[in-house]
Amino acid sequence: MLKSFLLAAGIGSRLSPITDTIPKCLIPFAGRPLLDYWLELLSQAGCSDARVNTHAHAEKMRAFLQSHFPAGYPRVTESYEPTLLGSAGAIAANADFAEGASEVIIICADQISNVDLASMVAFHRQHGDAMTMLLYRVPNPQECGIVELDAEDRVVEFVEKPAIPKSNLANGGIYIVSNEAYREIANMHKFDLGFDVLPQFVGRARGWLWDDIHRDIGTHASLAKARAELAKAKLSVAKRRKPVAAVFLDRDGTVIEHVHHLTKPEDVRLVPGAGECLSRLHASGYKCVIVTNQSVVGRGMLTEEGLEQVHAEMTTQLEQHGAWVDEIYFCPFAPGEGAEGGTEHPNRKPQPGMLLQAAQDLNLDLSKSWMIGDMMSDALAGHAAGCLASILIEKTPQSTPPNAEETGERKPARRDFHVKSLIEATDVILNFAN
């Protein structure tokens, strides 16, 4: 049995004012809490149980840990620290956690990474030493814990912040340890893993190099870099998992209130229950992807940068409800613009281009996916993409655009479900799944 201990209790003072109100490991990335990314990575590695230590803003961390997570996520428990115990002290306070485990993955969870934990576990199991450390290359080895390896990847030296570094291989804050090694660390009753514990494993630990995205978010500068790397990280993680079902959602009139030719972030308003619906869908294992025609860009009414600001406001409002979307796809062309052979651009609904691209990028199973929208072009796009079904939200007079003929709508080949709200659409999907 594989378990994981996630070190998440830190105060994160260097990230103030962000961490004045939320714990560092719940900082949102594209609206999604950082810790949720780690739980997904652990699920891909086959981890059955995870324990998270808490301290700063523990009530908010506790609320997150009590969420309904998708099937396949590890069972999560909390270890609250009234006083910070340090990275090694947290292990000492949870010596019992190794019970029944073959290995424990210890993770410093204040990092963004696309690490392949399953491959790291496989490496650990084949070499037989007590510990495997994730290593990554850094340009500033004097500021990191630096490792020197022998020809068999065994750790022969570990020095915190060396004045004269012997390599640029830095400690990545992820350790896979045997059951016995976990108990050994717990019995040391030390404070810090880097200074107090890791030197004790020199000669009986191996280094495992990760040459892709792996970045600490301890400062505002590193947080900004991590957010810039997020898109690449998400795509690579998606490619490693089995295809999953998604719910594709139109934006205007479906997730946010319809405003004709919306161009201002201050006009963004979530539809009633939008955050709760997305949370329910995520908890049931669906990815939530927005696919939206945005002719305001093609008409010159809004730049793509301005559209990003609109989407950022929507994301912020969803964050306030503990919800997020996994990706946003938009078609910037006006009706007829960019079309070939007299048809709409292949990415403009009712064409299925955005859905097909999302399926390729995010490794989605279209045959198990749904499309929700308030326009017939939405339903048609779902059908054309091969979705399981489409759900059409009944329009209200306020959400009917004055120039509906511009959308190129036509009666869909079949309208699978007709509902009055996103809440009802979510109920249809979840009741069907059950």
Domain ranges of the chain: 2-238, 243-433
- Which CATH code fits 243-433? 3.40.50.1000
Q: pLDDT of the chain along its 434 residues, tens only?
A: 999 999 999 999 999 999 999 999 999 999 999 999 999 999 999 999 999 999 999 999 999 999 889 988 999 999 999 999 999 999 999 999 999 999 999 999 999 999 999 999 999 999 999 999 999 999 999 999 999 999 999 999 999 899 999 999 999 999 999 999 999 999 999 999 999 999 999 999 999 999 999 999 999 999 999 999 998 999 999 999 999 999 999 999 999 999 999 999 999 999 999 999 999 999 999 999 999 999 999 999 999 999 999 999 999 999 999 999 999 999 999 887 766 655 779 999 999 999 999 999 999 999 999 999 999 999 999 999 999 999 999 875 433 343 433 444 444 445 589 999 999 999 999 999 87
Q: Is 374 a catalytic residue?
A: no
* 2-238: CATH superfamily: Spore Coat Polysaccharide Biosynthesis Protein SpsA; Chain A (3.90.550.10)
Specify the pTM: 0.88
Tokens 């964050």 belong to residue: 319
Among the options 153, 252, 374, 378, which is catalytic?
Answer: 252
Among the options 49, 153, 216, 250, which is catalytic?
Answer: 250
Of the candidates 105, 101, 100, 141, the residue with the CA atom closest to the CA atom of residue 122 = 105
Q: Tell me the sheet residues that pair with 246.
A: 287
Name, in order, each residue with C-beta under 8 angstroms of 369's C-beta and a sequence gap of 6 or more: 245, 246, 247, 248, 286, 359, 385, 387, 388
Q: Is there a common fold for 2-238 and 243-433?
A: no
CB 287 within 8 A of CB 433: no
**pLDDT score at 71:** 87
CB 280 within 8 A of CB 315: no
Q: Is 116 a catalytic residue?
A: no
Alpha carbon of residue 405 to chain centroid? 38
